[in-house]
Amino acid sequence: MSILKRFISYYQPYRVLFFADMFCAVLVSAVDLAFPQILNFLSSNVFTQGRDVILSSIGYAGLLLLALYILKYFCQYFITSWGHIMGARMEADMRLDLFDHYQRLSFSYYDKNNTGEMMSRLVNDLFDVTELAHHGPENIFISVLKIAGSFILLLMINVKMTMLLFLVTLIMVVFSIERNFRMKAVFMDNRVKIAQVNASLQDSLAGIRVVKSFANEEVERNKFCKSNQDFLASKTRSYKMMGGYHAWNSLFTGLLYIAVIVAGGYFIAEGTLHVTELVIYILYINIYVNPLEVLINFTEQFQKGFSGFKRLTDILETQPEIIDKPDAVPLDQVRGEIEFHNVSFRYNNEDDVLHDVSIRIPAGKNIALVGPSGGGKTTLCSLLPRFYDVTAGSITIDGKDIRDLTLKSLRSAIGIVQQDVYMFSGTIKENIAFGKREATEEEIMEAARNANIHDYIMSLEEGYETFVGERGVRLSGGQKQRLAIARVFLKNPPILILDEATSALDNESERYIQQSLEKLSADRTTIVIAHRLSTIRNADEIIVITDEGIKERGTHRELISENGIYSNYYHMQFEGLESATPDY
Ligand code: ADP
Ligand code: MG
């Protein structure tokens, strides 16, 4: 879809408002055009008559003009209020579309893009769209109408002078077009730079605890200063350009008037133009010049609004990599048998992170992944809910290729507990209910009990209504982890992934959480990635993954007797040399 077509499509729901707006705009310009016409009529037909005729006529003329200007008043009111409201509604629609699209985009997109920058597109870039959406069609339509109307009327008064006028206008238009291209680039640059300011701000604020703990405020300030200065420089460029543009425009308007007065005087001296005609002519020039100026100023507004819309379009046209197939079927009555068939995977175009991995997990069984950090354990797990798609091979659940299933049903069947959990700013209850939106109070409490957090929640003054703060800052690591587990209990998925769920915790919390994790994984097909090997001793199968692929597999007993990598790790931990644990 072309960008202009896309823009126009946003008018669709507001057709009635749009046409009403246009209609009012036509009336306003008709009133403007009528005034000199009435004056013309008065001066040539009425003012030349006797006193009585003049007096009776101007009463009517006054009333007629009053009626017209009252009409104009109402139209103007409608245009300014409802025209802008229409623009604001379109802007809101665009914002929502972008938000929806952000939600659809795959992880690979988020790997490459910055949150602050993405926010900037949604917030700042659409600021000027209201003005554009409202004034755009009106300005173009009405200005063209007024210019054409007054040009015809000017021609009727004096052809030669109007031709001269046309020539000056032409120069003005050519100049504007040339300027326009340059402004477009500058406004686009403005947007890129403000997005960088946002990105820098977002990064510093999100990491404020790290910044402060390293006492690195100065470093962050310098980074922010840099993007702030860049934005200032970019804005300075655009204001200089706007200054030049506006100044030249008023000079051209001046030139128009000079041309008319000089040429008009010449024609009066020649006897081909009457003084009254010149006065009327100048009145019409006003009507001619005004929309011309509006049109020229509008190009600036257009470039501002459109450069923002262009950035919106860029994202809307980025296709999410992972979407439902047209004939995708829901995954139902899940038994939970998972199979990785010769799976290879790489991020972007880097080397394979996983190469030809085959794993079969019978329904309800428990497997553990062990290996050095960076071996690809998390990556392997993220393929199952299709956060990324395999580059080769396939993954099946109950014998069905996960790419043939609807994403919603697939992801509903999988519960994940990770090392760092995300809490939304809201209440404890809301955060648990994230696992199942329609959950009852009773279900939420049951989940919290299962996660060993109910008693703690009840000890809080506001209980389940306690605010957790942004990202859950008011909770300890162990508490957050237990809330995350409660979420998954509530979700009750047949398949479970525990990715170093307890690694960030102290021994005490870990032991506590281990109980609820064991409860959680009972009767569910579970993949555990564990930091402390003592917790996976009972796994049905333990798989050792290094960056060279699967190196060992078997039960704890088998692997220990193999005396390989696993047994090595195990003994190191067993002997209490936790600090000597390989980096995983
Ligand atoms: P593990 O969980 O075993 O520690 P990961 O699966 O997190 O290992 O990482 C495996 C490899 O993939 C690492 O080399 C890591 O740098 C790389 N990697 C992980 N996530 C991404 C990503 N989103 N984009 C690019 N490379 C990644
Ligand atoms: Mg990992």
Cα(511) to ligand 2 centroid in Å equals 21
Compute, in degrees rounded to 10, the torsion defined by CA atoms 302, 308, 312, 314: 90
Nearest to 484 by CA among 417, 412, 411, 413: 417
pLDDT of residue 579: 46
Residue nearest to atom 20 of ligand 1 (CA): 379
Phi/psi-derived region of residue 277, left when phi > 0, alpha when psi is between -120 and 50, beta in every other case: alpha
Whether residue 330 has its Cβ less than 6 Å from ligand 1: no
Nearest to 338 by CA among 562, 520, 534, 543: 543
Question: Which of 110, 343, 378, 379 is the pocket-test mutation for ligand 1 (most atoms within 8 Å of CB)?
Answer: 379
CATH 3.20.20.70 fits 415-492, yes or no: no
Ligand nearest to the CA of 377: 1
Regions in the chain scoring below 70 on pLDDT: 576-584
Whether residue 531 has its Cβ less than 6 Å from ligand 1: no
Answer yes or no: is the ipTM higher than 0.85.
Answer: yes
Cβ-based burial of 461 (10 A; exposed 0-12, middle 13-18, buried ≥19): exposed
Whether residue 375 has its Cβ less than 6 Å from ligand 1: yes
Bridge partner residues of 564 (DSSP): none
Ligand nearest to the CA of 354: 1
Neighbours of ion ligand 2 (CB under 5 A): 378
Residue nearest to atom 21 of ligand 1 (CA): 347
pLDDT of residue 10: 95
Position in ligand 1 atom list of the atom nearest CA 381: 6
pLDDT of residue 475: 86
Ligand nearest to the CA of 583: 1
Cα separation values, 351 from 158, 330, 347, Å: 77, 33, 8
Cα(581) to ligand 1 centroid in Å equals 20
CA atoms of 253 and 569, how far apart (whole Å)? 83
CA atoms of 369 and 161, how far apart (whole Å)? 88
Cα(351) to ligand 1 centroid in Å equals 11
Whether residue 353 has its Cβ less than 6 Å from ligand 1: yes
Whether residue 347 has its Cβ less than 6 Å from ligand 1: yes
Whether residue 419 has its Cβ less than 6 Å from ligand 1: no
Q: Which residues of 254-263 are buried (b: 16+ CB within 10 A; e: fewer)?
A: eebeebbeeb
The structural domains of the chain, with segments of one domain joined by +, span 3-316, 415-492
Whether residue 376 has its Cβ less than 6 Å from ligand 1: yes
Whether residue 377 has its Cβ less than 6 Å from ligand 1: yes
Position in ligand 1 atom list of the atom nearest CA 375: 3
Structure token pair of residue 267 = 């024609």
Whether residue 378 has its Cβ less than 6 Å from ligand 1: yes
CA atoms of 114 and 192, how far apart (whole Å)? 12
Structure token pair of residue 477 = 């690591």
- Answer yes or no: are the C-beta atoms of 381 and 529 closer than 8 Å: yes
CA atoms of 232 and 235, how far apart (whole Å)? 5
Helix (H) or strand (E) holding 119: helix 115-123
Residue nearest to atom 5 of ligand 1 (CA): 376
Based on DSSP, count helices (H) and strands (E) in the chain, helices before strands: 20, 10
Beta pairing, strands 541-546 & 392-397: unpaired
Nearest to 417 by CA among 483, 363, 322: 483
pLDDT of residue 145: 83
Question: Which of 107, 344, 347 is the pocket-test mutation for ligand 1 (most atoms within 8 Å of CB)?
Answer: 347
Cα separation values, 510 from 415, 457, 501, 542, Å: 19, 19, 9, 21
Nearest to 87 by CA among 138, 137, 125, 129: 129
Nearest to 143 by CA among 250, 6, 22: 22
Ligand nearest to the CA of 355: 1
DSSP string, 142-165: HHHHHHHHHHHHHHHH-HHHHHHH
CATH 2.30.42.10 fits 3-316, yes or no: no
